Amino acid sequence: MNGSSDKTRPLLRFEGVVKRFGDVPAVDRVSLDIHEGEFFALLGPSGCGKTTLLRMLAGFEQLTEGHILLDGQDIGDVPPHRRPVNMMFQSYALFPHLTVAGNVAFGLKQEALPKSEIESRVSAMLALVRLEGYGGRKPQQLSGGQRQRVALARALVKRPRVLLLDEPLSALDRKLREETRFELVELQQRLGLTFIIVTHDQHEAMIMADRIGVMNRGQLVQVGPPSEVYEQPNSRWVAGFIGDINLIEGRVAATGPQGTEIKSETAGRLHAAQPADVSLGTSVWLAVRPEKVSIAAHAPEGSQTNVFAGKVADIGYLGNSSLYKVKLDNGLVMTAVVANRTRLLERPIGRYDRVWLSFPSDAGVVLTR
């Protein structure tokens, strides 16, 4: 517990962690620090290695290479039952032959705590997850949301140094899932614990986590706070995985403190406020989020940088917003998302209308890969 005040040393450190199944690398050279009290999300598509990484931390998978340090101690050879981390399983893995209270007490009984302490901690924990009075039921008699809370209580009651959550909300329906996200964050802040969640849902990761580690094909491709990962993706893959993105290919014509000038064969001259750390002539992509693209029925006045004319090819009505797919005169298809602030009675833009797309210089990110 001394480590909590030590801000320089991370609570958890992954050092060049590799896991191979046969010849296939499931986790490929992952290095990562996680600090005390953090809510960290491992985000990636299925099969990217995020669950394997979590299972190595819990002790269910052996590392092929590298080290995992908890409070500075290498835990590679510590068996799962001696690790001070606890896991909430995707399937919840509630013991069907035990009651709710029996499930929550299971971990404490392994520590051979006095009976009275087990009882008081179990009932306090059941109160915390709002399941008072359910202690005598069997897991099969609970709803999905209640089971999820039993699984959470069962792991939390052990007071783990790190709580691991493997897709904890995937079995819940949408509405319950959205409520539970906030509950989990609130609980984590109240208890001051370190949470690591594995998810394939970028909304879930962005809403809940302090930091996100994006994984693809076994590698950790970007780590940062949600806003950074969204606004400053470091690759086309990350940009596309977290939300929708317009990508315009071009070559760097000029770059400096005033921003980057890009010449695109398809879209003409582009400008991004951010300087690019590349030599002139390098092939790059300008990435722009659809909601940062404005759409207008008339050509905008003034500067014609980052302005493109085209025809509306398709409109998707999403309720709170509308999505316009515009085929530009140069052949490129771009997407713009506009919030529906007024009702749709007099929609000014329709299908096949001629429109002009534009975005400010600070909306785009220059990507080199």
Partner 1 sequence: MSGTNRPRRGWGARLVILIPALWLAVFFAVPFLIVLKISLSQSAIAQPPYTPVLDLAAGWQGLKDWAAGLSLESYALLASDSLYVSSYLRSLQIAALSTAILLLIGYPIAYGIARAPRRMQAVLVMAIVLPFLTAFLIRIYALVTILQREGLLNDALLALSLVREPLVWLSTDTAIVIGIVYSYLPFMVLPLYASLEKMDDTLLEAAADLGCPWWKAFWLVTVPLSAPGIVAGALLCFIPIVGEFVIPDLLGGSDALMIGQTLWTEFFSNKDWPAASALAVALLAILLVPIMIYQHIQMRALEHR
Partner 2 sequence: MRRGLSAFNMTAVALGLAFLYLPIAILVIYSFNASRLVTVWGGWSTRWYVALWNDEAMLEAAWTSLRIAFLSATAATILGTLAAVVLVRSGRFFGRTAFSGLVYAPLVMPEVITGLSLLLLFVAIEADRGFWTVTMAHTTVTMCFVAVIVQSRLLSFDLSLEEAAMDLGCPPLRAFLTVTLPLIFPAVAAGWMLAFTLSLDDLVLASFTTGPGATTLPIRIYSEVRLGVKPEINAVSTVMIVVVAVGIIAATLISKRGVVAR
Which spans of this chain sit near partner 2 (rule: CB under 8 A)?
58-60, 79-83, 85-87, 89-91, 93-97, 106-107, 110-111, 138, 140, 154-155, 158
Indicate which of partner 1, partner 2, none lies near residue 140 (CB less than 5 to 8 Å, by partner kind): partner 2
Could you tell me which residues are beta bridge partners of residue 311?
A: 327, 354
Q: Provide, rounded to whole angstroms, the least separation between the CB of residue 60 and partner 1.
A: 10
Indicate which of partner 1, partner 2, none lies near residue 64 (CB less than 5 to 8 Å, by partner kind): partner 1
Query: How far is residue 335's CA from residue 357's CA, in Å, rounded to a whole number?
Result: 9
Give 248-279 as a DSSP string: EEEEEEEEETTEEEEEETTTEEEEESS--SS-
Q: Provide, rounded to whole angstroms, the least separation between the CB of residue 80 and partner 2.
A: 4
Q: Provide, rounded to whole angstroms, the least separation between the CB of residue 111 and partner 2.
A: 6
The contact set with partner 1 (CB under 8 A) reads 20-22, 62-66, 76-77
Closer residue to partner 2, CB minimum distance, 160 or 290: 160
At 76, the amino acid letter reads G
Q: Provide, rounded to whole angstroms, the least separation between the CB of residue 76 and partner 1.
A: 5
Residues 6+ apart with CB under 8 A from 61: 19, 52, 55
Closer residue to partner 2, CB minimum distance, 88 or 238: 88
- Number of CB atoms found within 10 A of residue 51's CB: 22
Q: Provide, rounded to whole angstroms, the least separation between the CB of residue 112 and partner 2.
A: 10
Closer residue to partner 2, CB minimum distance, 98 or 191: 98
Closer residue to partner 1, CB minimum distance, 63 or 363: 63
Closer residue to partner 1, CB minimum distance, 67 or 217: 67
Query: How far is residue 58's CA from residue 52's CA, in Å, rounded to a whole number?
Result: 10
Closer residue to partner 1, CB minimum distance, 91 or 266: 91
Strands 162-166 and 194-199: parallel
Q: Provide, rounded to whole angstroms, the least separation between the CB of residue 198 and partner 2.
A: 14
Query: How far is residue 91's CA from residue 347's CA, in Å, rounded to a whole number?
Result: 46
Q: Which two tokens stand for residue 128?
A: 């915390």
The H-or-E segment that residue 66 falls in is strand 65-70
Indicate which of partner 2, partner 1, none lies near residue 62 (CB less than 5 to 8 Å, by partner kind): partner 1
Report the chain's C-alpha Rg in angstroms. Answer: 25
Indicate which of partner 2, partner 1, none lies near residue 63 (CB less than 5 to 8 Å, by partner kind): partner 1
Indicate which of partner 1, partner 2, none lies near residue 367 (CB less than 5 to 8 Å, by partner kind): none
Indicate which of partner 1, partner 2, none lies near residue 110 (CB less than 5 to 8 Å, by partner kind): partner 2
Q: Which two tokens stand for residue 51?
A: 């669950």
Q: Provide, rounded to whole angstroms, the least separation between the CB of residue 73 and partner 1.
A: 15
Indicate which of partner 2, partner 1, none lies near residue 111 (CB less than 5 to 8 Å, by partner kind): partner 2
Query: How far is residue 307's CA from residue 357's CA, in Å, rounded to a whole number?
Result: 6
Contact 289, 303 (CB under 8 A): no
Contact 341, 353 (CB under 8 A): no
Closer residue to partner 2, CB minimum distance, 116 or 140: 140
Q: Nearest CA to 172 among 146, 152, 137?
A: 146
